[in-house]
Amino acid sequence: MRLTCSAAFWALFAFTATAPGVQAKGLRRKLIAKNDCTIMAIEPLALEGGEEPDMILECELNAEDAGGVSGISAPIQATAAQLKELKDLIKSGELAAGEDILDIEGDEIDENHQVKIEPTVSMKAKAAKAKGGKADKRRRLVDTTGDLKMLLVKVTDVNGLVYPDSATVMSDEVFGTGNDPINLKSGLEECSWDKLTVLPKALTQAGVPDSTHEVATGVVEVTIDISLTDQGNSAIRNAVTTKVQAMLGYNLPGPYDYVLYSLEKCYIDCGWAAYAYINSWNSVYQDVYYKRPGVLMHEIGHNFGLAHSGGLDGATYTDHTCTMGNPHYSDDAFQCFNPAKNFQLNWYDDAEITEDPRIQGYSNTLTLVGIDEYPDRGDSPVTVRLETGGGADYFVGFNRASATGPNRMNDEGDNQVTIVQVNGGSGESYSQSFLKAKLSQGQSYAITDYAGTGKTVTITALSIDISTTPGTALVRISDGLVPAPPSPPPTPAPVTPAPTIASCPGAQEMMEVQIQTDNWPGETEWTLTDKCGSNGVILSGGPYGSANTPFSSNVCANDGQYEFQINDSIGDGICCGYGTGSYLVKFGTAVKASGGEFTSSETKTFGTCGSTPPPTTGSTPPPSAPPTAPPTNGSTPPPTNGSTPPPTAPPTPVPTAPPTVPPTPVPTVPPTAPPTPVPTAPPTNPPTAQPTAPVTPAPTTGGGAVAQGAIFDSSYGVPKCANMGSSCDSLALLDGRGTISNGNEPNHSNTNNIGNTCNDGNSGIYHSDESIDQITVTAGDIESGVPVPSGDFITEGGRAYVTVKLWCWGSGASDTADIYLTKDASSPDWEPLDSITCPGGGAQTIVQAFDVPKGTNQSIRVNFRFNGSPSTCSSGSYDDHDDLIFTVKENPSVTPPPTPAPTQPPTPVPTPVPTPMPTDANDGPPPSPGGVASYDEVLGAPKCSFAPSCDSGILLNGRANINNGAEPNEPNTLNTCTDGPFGSYHSDESIDKIVVSKASGGDLTEGDEVTITATIWCWGTGSNDRIDFYYASDASNPVWTQIGARKTCPGGGVQTMTASFTLPPGSLQAVRANLMYGSGTAGVNKCVTSSYDDTDDLVISVRPNTSIQGLVASPGKSKHDDVQGAVVYAEKDAAADMMEKELQELNQSTEKPEDDDGNEGGKGKGKGKGKGKGKGGESVGTASATAKYVCTNADLSPRTSVMKGHSQMTPVPQKDSHAEGKGRSAGSLIVMGTRKPMNEVNEDWKLFDKSSRGIMKTTGDKYLFVRTMLQRFGADI
C-alpha cells in the first residue's frame, strides 16, 4: 500500500527532549554553551496514510556542553522565522547539514538539552560566524560505494517495552541473513548493481568482529534508562546513543558507516514511521517500519545526502518513480532512484553525460538505456544532465522496468522517459527534486525560457523499444533554432591573465603557472615571488570563478630563486575530496613545482640566487614587456584581434540579455502562456448559470454572461479579463511566486505597474512555501458560508466574491492574505476588503464577498504575507502579491459616490512668467525615449545613450557566478571591483537593476537633479545588509564621490533603495551601487568586496547645460548696468521668479539699511568691520563698495561658494570697488556680486559648488555678476 500525501503540511511534528512537565533522568540544570555545534537536519517519513512532515532541526553538541557525552543532539529552540531561514539555507545547499556548524557559544542550553536562540539574531549570521566568517558550504561526500558497514540496535526501554521480533528475525528482515529475499541489503546492492555492498557486523573500535556484544548478525541490544511513553524523540535517541557508546566503548559512528535504531513504538510527538539525519550516520524506526525495505532505503538515502523527490503535483515527495518520493510500505517491495538521485549517488558514473542546451542551435539525439539493464548498455547513457548554469539542472532518463531488473517493482512511469529537475546544486548535493514529465513514444516536454535564455528547449521521446535487450529510448533534445555561425578559434577565458608570450629576451626564460581548479574555485589563490631581486610578487592568480577549468599565467624571468605559494580559504586543498584540481609551475621546459593535495596552504621554493641581474634592471626591458610590441599587438594578429571579427560578447556569451529589450515584457502572451495551463474552466465557475434570480440588486440582464479567462495585459503588467462575464479567472497566470525554485511565476510580479509595482519575495520553494496560485472573481454572493454564483454579469452595484487559491506554509497560522479592491485599475486606489489567515497548511482556498462599486475596469489585489501586518505591498522574502483586472458591466442606475468638494482651480497661482533663460540659449535636442543600457566592452559596464532616464535592464541581474544567478559580464564595474562569489541567487545579496531618472522631461542634462533607484535583494531580514551610492563625473577616469550616508536594507527580499544628486558637468558620467553584508570599509576604488558583496556601475550620457558652462550675456542687454556679463540659471517655477523679482527690487533700492546686530548674518558700515550672529551663524563682512545687496547667509567669498540648503537674503551696505563676506551656516547662497573692473582682476573668477562639482568661468566685459538659485528649485549653484 502506498502513502497518499495530504495537501497540508504536518506542522505538529516537533522533536522535544521530554514530554511537557516531565523531567528527564540525569539531566542537569541549564548552562551556557562554550562551543559551536554541528547543524543536524532530520527528515521524518510519515506513517502509512499519514500527513507529510517537515524537516526538523537539531544541533549536535560538543561533548563539553553535553555533560561529557558525545553524539548528543539538542533541538533548536527558535522563532518560526528563524527556523524557516535555517531550513532554506540547508535546502538551497548553502549549508550542509551534518557538517556545517552553528555558533551557539554564549547561548543557553536548558535543562532539556534545547539550544535557545535569541529571537532577534540571524541564523545565517550565526552559521557564517562559525568558520572564518563564513560557513563551509559543501556537502560531506558520504560513502555510497564500496563496503558499507552497518549496525542495527534493538532498543528496550526502562519498562521493558521492546519490539517483539527476535534479534535473529530482525537481522534477516534488514540484512537478509536468513530467508528474506527482499531487504535493505538486497535493495541497495541491486539498485547500485553491486557498486555498494552492505556488511552487517558488530565491530570493535579497531574494526574487527565483536562477538561479545553481537546477538545476531549485525544486531546489538541495549536497554535505556528512560521510558518511551513519557519522553520525546530527541531524549530517546540521545539515551540510545549514550548506551550504545558505553557498551561498545567508543563514540558513534566509530567503525560503522550507518547505525539504525529500532524502537517498540512512538508515544509522544508521533506521526512518523522513521526518521534519518541528512548527511550523517543515524536513522531511527518505530514499530514494524524497521522491516519495510522501501522505508529503510528511503532513510538511508537521507543519510547518503539525498533530499526528497516531488511529483508532478509539486508536493514534496510524490514522485513514485523514486524511493525518495513515497516509498513502498510493504515487506516485500522496494524501488530504485530517479535520474537526478542516480547522478548524485555516482553508481552509474560511467554512463552519465552532461549536455548544455544553452548553446544557440543546440540539438542532439541520444539513445538511452535504463538502469534496469545497465550492464547491457554498451556506450549508451543511463542519465543525461542538462546544464542550466545556475544549479537547477534537468536530468533525463529511461525508466525501464523489466521483469527481472532492480527496477521491476517501480510504481510510476514504467518504460517512459522521465524528466526531473533539482532545486540547486547541479545534482551533486542535497537538493529537492521534482518530476517534470513522463513521456511515452511521440510525446514532448517543452521548457520555456530555458536557463533564462528566452528560448524553448524541447525534449521528445522519438521512439521507445522494449522488445530488445537492452530496451532503448531514442530522445531528441533541441531548441529548434539555427545554430550560431562558426566562431573564430577559441580565445583564452577572460579570467586568464594574459596570452602566452611567444619568446623572452636575452637569457630570460618563460615562467608559467598552470592551475586546474576544483569544484570550489573561489577558495583558491596563489602567488609567485622573486626571492633574489626587488621585484617581489611577479605573478598571482585567483580566486577563480569557473570550476574544473584550466588557467595559465606566464611572465619572462631570469634564472634565480622563486617561491610559489598556493592557498585554499576553506583548508582542504584543491584535490581530491572536492574535484581533482592541481597546480604546475614551469621555468622554460623544466617543471619546478606541482601538486594539489594540501590543507590551507602549500609553499614550494626552487632555484638559487646568482649574479644574474634582476630582470627589471639594465637595458633588457621588464619581464612583462618583450622588446617587440606586446604579443596582442604584433604582426600576427592574436585570436581576438585578427581580421575575423571578435565575438560580440565575452567568451561565454550571455544569451539572456539582449541589450535593448527589458527582461520581463512579453510581446505576445496567449492565454495558455504558462507551461502548465489549466485545461478547463475553474470548478467554481460552472458554464451553466443558475436560472434563479440574481442575489445582487443589479438588474438581471438575461443570458449571455459566460466565464472569462484572463490573459496577460502588458500595459498593466497583470492578468486581465477584457470582456464582461459571469466570472474572471486568472487560470495559471499567477501560479507560483517570483523566481522560486520550481515555481517561477509567469510575468512576475503581476502587480499593476500603473501604481507602484510590488515585487514578490523570492525565498523558499514552490509548494513548500507561500504562493498565490489562482484568483477568480465571480458574480454572486456567499450564503451561509457557501459561495453561490449568480450566473449573471459582474455588474456595478451588484455583489461578487473573490476566490483565492493559496499554498500556505507549515500549519498556515503564520500566513495571511490581505484582499484589496480598486474601482479603477487605471488609477488604483486600494480599498481593503479583509485580511484572512490561512485555515491550514498546504493548498487552501479562501473566499471574500464584496459590493461591486461604480467602475467598469476594476481590480483585485491579494497581498499574501508571512507574519507582518496588513499592507498592499509587504516586503517579506516569502510574500506574494498578485492583481487580477476584471471588466464590470455598467449599470446606469448606480451613481458614483458623491464627489468631494469641487476640484481646485487648475492653476492656484498666476501662470509663471516665461523662463528667464536668455532668448539666444540653445534649447537642445528634443528628449529621447527612456534609455535601456547595453553592455560596453571598453568600459566594462552597461551604458546608455542620451535619454531622460537610463535603465540597466537585466544586465546587472545577479552577482558573480552564484547559483541560479550568474551576473552577465560580471563584475560590471569601471575599475574592476570584484563581486563576492558565495551564496545563492535571491537567497543572498545581489543588485538586480539600477535606474537613473529625473522628475521632468528632456534628456539627462548637466545640473539636473536625478535619482538613482537600485532594485536589490537583501538577505534574511535585511538588517545586516547595507548599500553605498556613488557618482563620477568622468566614466572614463572615474573619481567616485559618495552620495549621502550608507543605508541599511529596510527588509528582506526584493527592496528598492534610492539616492539623489545633481549631475555635474561631464558628457559621460557613471553611478555606482555597492551592496554589502555587514559594514565593510570601502577601499581606494570605493567598493567593499567581501564574500556576499555586489558592486555594479551604470554609465550615463549627459547633455551639456550651457547655462552652467558660462553663457555670457552681451553688454547692454541687462536691465542694470552693474549686471553686465551675467552667468544665469533658468528658474524652475513661479517661486523662483518671485525670488528674482524681490532680488531686483532690493538691488534697485536706494534705502539705506539700518545697522543690525548680526541678526541675519553680518553687518558692515563704511570701511569698518562688524561682527554678529544670526540664523546663518557667525559672519564677518568687509564693506568697500557702492551700496548694493548680497546674501551673506552662506559661505561666501569672491571665489568660492558652498551650497548647502536654504538661506535668507540680507541687505549689506558696501562701498568702493570690492565686497566680500564670510559666514558659516547651513544656508544657501542666493546672490553673490562684485563691482570690480575686470582689468583689475588677475585671473578669471571661479564659482565652485560642492554638490555639483561644477566650475564656471566668466569673461564679462567690465563687471562680473553671478546669480544662483536654491537647491530645491533644481539648480544647486
User: Would you state the pLDDT for residue 214?
Assistant: 94
Banded model confidence at residue 632, pLDDT cuts 50, 70, 90: very low
Q: What is the pLDDT of residues 319-339, one digit of tens each?
A: 999 999 888 888 888 899 999
CB atoms within 10 A of CB 965: 25
- Measured CA to CA, the distance from residue 1082 to residue 1068 in angstroms comes to 24
CA neighbor of 422 nearest in space, from 310, 518, 590: 310
Residue 1048 has pLDDT above 60, yes or no: yes
Give the rounded percent of residues in the chain with a pLDDT score beyond 70. Answer: 71
- Can you read off the three cell numbers belonging to residue 789? 454564483
User: Would you state the pLDDT for residue 1105?
Assistant: 85
User: Would you state the pLDDT for residue 621?
Assistant: 39
Residue 1230 has pLDDT above 50, yes or no: no
Q: What is the pLDDT of residues 223-244, one digit of tens each?
A: 999 999 999 999 999 999 999 9
Comparing 699 with 210, which gets the higher pLDDT?
Answer: 210
- Measured CA to CA, the distance from residue 802 to residue 660 in angstroms comes to 39
Residue 362 has pLDDT above 70, yes or no: yes
Give the range among 789-798, 1070-1079, 1247-1256 with minimum mean pLDDT.
1247-1256
Residue 821 has pLDDT above 90, yes or no: yes
Comparing 847 with 665, which gets the higher pLDDT?
Answer: 847
In whole numbers, what is the pLDDT of the chain averaged over residues? 75
Residue 141 has pLDDT above 90, yes or no: no
Work out the average pLDDT over 437-444: 94
Residue 167 has pLDDT above 70, yes or no: yes
**CB of 369 closer than 8 Å to CB of 483:** no
Q: What is the side-by-side order of every strand in the sheet holding 582-587?
A: 550-557, 509-516, 582-587, 590-595
Residue 50 has pLDDT above 90, yes or no: no
Residue 1181 has pLDDT above 50, yes or no: no
User: Would you state the pLDDT for residue 44?
Assistant: 93
Give the rounded percent of residues in the chain with a pLDDT score beyond 90. Answer: 44
Q: Which residue has the cell 507561500?
A: 770
- Measured CA to CA, the distance from residue 310 to residue 314 in angstroms comes to 6
**CB of 855 closer than 8 Å to CB of 897:** no
Give the range among 207-211, 1041-1045, 1141-1145 with minimum mean pLDDT.
1141-1145
Comparing 1113 with 825, which gets the higher pLDDT?
Answer: 825
Work out the average pLDDT over 894-908: 49
Q: What is the pLDDT of residues 1059-1110, one digit of tens each?
A: 999 999 999 999 999 999 887 788 777 888 788 899 999 999 999 987 664 4
Residue 626 has pLDDT above 80, yes or no: no
Work out the average pLDDT over 364-391: 93
Work out the average pLDDT over 946-963: 90
Banded model confidence at residue 633, pLDDT cuts 50, 70, 90: very low
**CB of 237 closer than 8 Å to CB of 275:** no
Work out the average pLDDT over 803-814: 91
CA distances from 355 to 348, 361, 476, 490, 545 (A): 17, 13, 12, 19, 20
CA distances from 1036 to 56, 80, 132, 1108, 1181 (A): 54, 50, 37, 22, 43
Banded model confidence at residue 484, pLDDT cuts 50, 70, 90: low
Banded model confidence at residue 795, pLDDT cuts 50, 70, 90: very high
Banded model confidence at residue 647, pLDDT cuts 50, 70, 90: very low
Work out the average pLDDT over 529-546: 84
Comparing 986 with 486, which gets the higher pLDDT?
Answer: 986
CA distances from 568 to 7, 594, 599 (A): 46, 15, 7
- Measured CA to CA, the distance from residue 151 to residue 248 in angstroms comes to 12
Work out the average pLDDT over 810-827: 92
- Can you read off the three cell numbers belonging to residue 653? 556569451
CA neighbor of 1018 nearest in space, from 764, 761, 757: 761
Residue 747 has pLDDT above 60, yes or no: yes
Backbone angles phi, psi at 65, to 5 degrees: -95, 0
CA distances from 518 to 138, 939, 971 (A): 12, 31, 22
Residue 43 has pLDDT above 80, yes or no: yes
Work out the average pLDDT over 752-776: 88
Instruction: Round the CA-based radius of gyration of the chain to a whole number and report it.
Output: 37
Banded model confidence at residue 1128, pLDDT cuts 50, 70, 90: very low
User: Would you state the pLDDT for residue 1221?
Assistant: 34
Residue 910 has pLDDT above 50, yes or no: no
Give the range among 302-311, 905-914, 1049-1058 with minimum mean pLDDT.
905-914
CA distances from 443 to 321, 381, 457, 462 (A): 18, 20, 14, 8
Give the range among 382-396, 715-729, 732-746, 1249-1263 with minimum mean pLDDT.
1249-1263
- Measured CA to CA, the distance from residue 182 to residue 175 in angstroms comes to 9
Give the range among 125-134, 936-945, 983-992 with minimum mean pLDDT.
125-134
- Measured CA to CA, the distance from residue 719 to residue 513 in angstroms comes to 57
Residue 614 has pLDDT above 50, yes or no: no
